[in-house]
Structures are given as structure tokens and as C-alpha cells.
Amino acid sequence: MSTEAKTVSVVIPYLNEEEALPVLYERTCKAFEALPEEVEFLFIDDGSRDGSFEWVYKTAQSDPRVKYIKLSRNFGHQAAITAGMAHASGDAVVTIDADLQDPPETIPDLVAKWKEGFEVVHAVRTTRKGETGLKKFFAFAFYRIFKKITEVDMVSDSGDFRLLDRKAAAAISQLREHHRYMRGLASWIGFKQGSVLYDRDPRYAGEKKYTFKQSFVLALNAIASFSGTPLRLIFYLGGWICALSLAGCIAAWIYHAHYGHPKHIGTVTLAFATLFITGLQMFCIGIIGQYLRRVFDEIKDRPLYLVQSDNLPPSR
């Protein structure tokens, strides 16, 4: 890592965060006052319909450190982060949520770790305030299951608040897969990885923008893009069901040879067994479908996002 590194880009993807953005900007400016590095703000508008973009646009007129990219519609948080990372010019790139759940005051800790020589610095949540018990439970379970079934050495409890050295950011920008799980990719690229701890605050204002469905899809993307375990499991499951039913047939045949016809054939049991196996088959096909859908999207190879306007220099 170069010791003359001077600029840190702060990438802020946002969707309708007009109340939080000015406060985030103020607090981030303050956090950088104590640092020798310059800050570059890179706001990514992910299809906002409130006054967020107007505020960013206005602020960019008075502060040359403020850059923005306005996407042509809502492409999703992960695509917005990707856009930011691809166009950030800093020697290091910090990605942070716009809703102030990730406190900007933690940025100096990330920068300090970077200066120690770490090229990917994950901010790891010690506590999560203002989130429902169910969300915490799902998040806790997900990170642990994910860690078990993937080959990537993932950091648990780290969201999309992290710092990447320029080299690491360039490496991630090369990965153009469509169903992106950025925290997985940030671990997958390797380099020297480190982490700092922080307390996650409640959202500053407004509603959360990730619906339950979006969070679920993100979890599916994480698993489908980093693990073949579900495919392997259904392969084994199918094998076991075949083996067990064959054993059952042989047992019934022996029983029949010794004792003649069993009295009850058990129609209900049979009906349920059939339903169960049919359901199981559909579920397994569904799992394969999840992978196939992703293959389909990769083959189409559409751009990950489209830019409507920006104030970047022409070279970027």
C-alpha cells in the first residue's frame, strides 16, 4: 500500500433518504476533520422519488468534493454499490449505508486499519439497535449457515459497511456477476483482510428500504452464488430415497413370502407418501430452478446498472 495515499472515497448508495443525507454528510465531514486524508463523496441515487437527489445536486454545486451518479431507475442496493466502486477515484473506497445505521464516526477506525496495511477492512456489528427480534434472528442464523456451506472465508455480521483499498475495489469491479452479494465478493477477492468492531445504530429516519422479500432474495443470491451445497444435498437426498424405497420393497417382498398379504395396504399412508415425494421433487426442481435462473441472467449479460446523469470528470 502506498504511504502517500491521500483520498478516501465514501460511496453512499441511497433510495429515498432525504432526511438522513444532510446529517450523514455533516457527520462524515466532521469525521474527516481529524484525518490527514481528503474525502470524496460519491452519492449513488438508486431511483429515489423524494427530494434526495435535489439535495445531492445542490450540495455538489457548493462542495467540489461531492460527486454523484444518478441511476436511470432502482437497480437495487448491491448494483448501486457496484456503480460507486467502479467510479470512485480514492486510494481507498468506503461503502456506507445512507440511513446512518453505520456511524460515519467509525470511518477513521477503518482508515487506521487500512494504514496498518489491510486492504479489505470489514466493519463488524457488535450490536444492532432498532431492529426486530425476527430480523436479528434471521441475520444470525443466515450468517452461520452461510459460513458452513460456502468455501469462502466470510466474516459474519458484517454488512455493506467496509473499506477497500484501491486495488481491492478494482478487483471487485472486475467481477460482473449479476446476482451480486457484495459482502461475499469482498471476502472472495482475498487480499489482506481485517475488521473493526462497531455498534449498529437505529435508522435515522424513514422506513427501511429493503423489504423482507429483498432481504430473502439477497440471502438466496448469497447461497446460490457462493455454494453448490443445495445441489449436492438434493443429489444425496434423491440417492437416499431410492435406496430406502428399494430396501422397503425388498422387506415387503420378504414379508409377503412369509406371511402372505398384509391386511391393510394403508391407502392414506400411500396417498401422503406420494404427496410428500411429489412436493419434495417440486422443491428440489425449485432449487435447481434458482441456479438456472441465475445462469439465464448471466447469459443475457445485461449491464448491472444504467447511468442517467453524473458529475464525474469525463475520464471516469
Interface residue list for ligand UDP (CB under 6 A): 13-15, 17, 46, 74, 76-77, 80, 97-99, 101, 203, 208-210
| Residue with Cβ nearer ligand UDP (93 or 234) | 93
Cα–Cα distance measured from residue 103 to residue 161, given in angstroms and rounded to the nearest whole number: 9
Comparing CA positions, the residue from 176, 141, 179 lying closest to residue 292 is: 179
- Measured CA to CA, the distance from residue 107 to residue 91 in angstroms comes to 14
For the residues of 101-170, what is the DSSP string, one character each?
Answer: SS-GGGHHHHHHHHHTT-SEEEEEEEEE-S--HHHHHHHHHHHHHHHHH-SS-PPTTEEEEEEEEHHHHH
Shortest approach of ligand UDP to residue 138 CB, angstroms? 11
C-alpha cell at 276: 410428500
Mask for 29-48, x = binds Mg ion (CB under 5 A): --------------------
Our finding on whether 17 is near Mg ion (CB under 5 A) is no
Q: Report, in Å, the least distance between residue 267 CB and Mg ion.
A: 53
C-alpha grid cell, residue 211: 423489504
Q: Which is nearer to ligand UDP, 50 or 109 (CB)?
A: 50
Evaluate whether 297 touches 179 at the Cβ level (below 8 Å): yes
Whether residue 210 contacts residue 77, with contact meaning beta carbons closer than 8 Å, is answered with: yes
In angstroms, give the least distance from the CB of 277 to Mg ion: 42
Tell me: does residue 101 bind Mg ion (CB under 5 A): yes
* Interaction mask 212-251, Mg ion, x per CB under 5 A: ----------------------------------------
Residue whose CB is less far from Mg ion, 125 or 178? 125
**14 contact, one of ligand UDP, Mg ion, none, CB 5-8 Å limit per kind:** ligand UDP
Q: How far is the CB of 142 from ligand UDP (least distance, A)?
A: 12
